[in-house]
């Protein structure tokens, strides 16, 4: 596993400005594809394991966790109520929520070059990988 990580740290990535695209070597592409396949298999294995543990926990109500020397597994069901039809109004709670008018904020930002006082912007960066 350490060998794979070291390969990733040193793999050849070249940004081609005129094409506005990322170019990688064939070896790099194969390494990334292999990692994505492993990730997919690991996620599938985790889902199967979680389903098996949930079934076991439902059959044995006292089972809440496993603690071993290498791993710990915990089970805690969270129950949430939600509306799925017509509900007697006495069971409904009205919630008032304030939210930014993002269109108005963007117009202000375009005009002034800055955000209004009391408004901040978070930037979330995301890179996606997928198997083709």
Confidence of residue 126 (pLDDT cuts 50, 70, 90): low
**Which phi-psi region, left, alpha or beta, contains residue 113 (left: φ > 0; alpha: ψ -120 to 50)?**
left
What are the sequence ranges of the domains in the chain? 2-76
Residues linked to residue 15 through DSSP beta bridges, in sequence order = 22
The number of CA neighbours under 13 Å toward the Cβ of 82 is 4
Indicate whether 20 pLDDT > 80: no
Q: CB neighbours of 104 closer than 8 A, spacing ≥ 6?
A: none
More confident residue, 40 or 13: 40
What average pLDDT does the chain have? 84
Give the DSSP H/E element, type plus range, for residue 28.
Answer: helix 26-59
pLDDT at position 130:
65
Indicate whether 100 pLDDT > 80: yes
Confidence of residue 119 (pLDDT cuts 50, 70, 90): very high
């Amino acid at each position: 596993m350490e060998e794979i990580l070291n390969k990733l740290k040193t793999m050849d990535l070249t940004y081609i400005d005129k094409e506005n695209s990322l170019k990688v070597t064939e070896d790099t592409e194969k390494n990334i594809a292999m990692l994505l396949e492993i990730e997919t298999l690991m996620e599938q294995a985790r889902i199967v394991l979680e389903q098996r543990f949930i079934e076991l926990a439902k059959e044995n109500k006292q089972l809440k966790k496993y603690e071993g020397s290498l791993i710990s597994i915990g089970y805690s069901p969270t129950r949430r109520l939600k509306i799925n039809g017509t509900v007697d109004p006495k069971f409904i709670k009205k919630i008032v929520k304030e939210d930014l008018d993002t269109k108005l904020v963007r117009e202000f930002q375009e005009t002034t070059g800055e955000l209004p006082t009391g408004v901040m912007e978070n930037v979330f960066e995301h890179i996606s990988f997928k198997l083709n």
